[in-house]
Amino acid sequence: MIPYATAAEAEGALGRPMTWAEAAWFRYSSATPDYCLHFHTVILLSVVYTLVPLPLALLELRTSAKQTSPPYKLQPRVRRTPADFIRCYKNTVRVVAPAAGALQLHYYKIDLSFRPFVPMVGIRTGLPLPSVGETAAQLLVYFLVEDYQAYWVHRLLHTAWAYDKIHRVHHEYTAPIGFAAPYAHWAEVLILGVVAFASPAMVPCHVTTFWLWFALGGIQSIDTHSGFSFPLSPTRFIPFYGGAQHHDFHHYTGRHTQSNFAFIFTFCDYIYGTNKGYRLP
């Protein structure tokens, strides 16, 4: 919660007039407790997960009803029914909602003294708001750090024990769909939630950047699990971005795959030699 009673006090502390964005943030956050602001992350993720995969699901269902394959679908022989999408959504929410709630409580009330962990690592809610350049730089660092960490976590999840006990749930979809992006064993949801939080913990940010990081991370994960590769896909514009085609191959090969472990970029697969199977004709 911003520690200023009036906008004049806030501007006095800043030493300058507030921008329109800062004025809007002051009006919104001045009466909102910090734990409510941080809980917005869960709300944003829920909205992203519900709405972003929906257009592709409707496209697939519409073309399937006409007995045709959706254009640009990577595995066109696999067709889904409305019941498939609904089942995936329900099963995912049943696992992810409690896990995300547990992580949220854990991050905000971390120890027996109930000191808030999120503010402790430097994620702030006050003024000033970060600049566009600062936000972009932090997000780039977050994506690079998470990509490296998630690569090694993913490889560990493909060891025999971890795959059989945990990761096999996510691989039930050999032809992934957007709604299956967070579909996983509860333990994997918790592990990847910690990985996603590690970057902002290393490079602290404003809570608005924190929201944006989790929203963009959710969109990126949905894209890589979408099962579609469109002409205007981000893969064609973002250097080294793996995208749906890269990750779809990983799901297609399944349990015994030794390639395409990278979540976002393809750096780690290239550096550590786990892109070779993917490159074979």
Q: Determine the pLDDT at residue 277.
A: 74
Selected residue with higher pLDDT from 101 and 209: 209
Q: Determine the pLDDT at residue 114.
A: 46
pLDDT of 112 > 50? The answer is: no
Mean pLDDT calculated for residue range 11-28: 94
In the chain, domain spans: 26-279
Q: Determine the residue type at 235.
A: T
- Comparing CA positions, the residue from 226, 207, 220, 228 lying closest to residue 263 is 220
Work out the mean pLDDT of the chain and round it to a whole number: 90
pLDDT digits (tens, 9 = 90+) for 131-180: 999 999 999 999 999 999 999 999 999 999 999 999 999 999 999 999 99
- Band (258; pLDDT cuts 50, 70, 90): confident
Q: Determine the pLDDT at residue 192.
A: 95
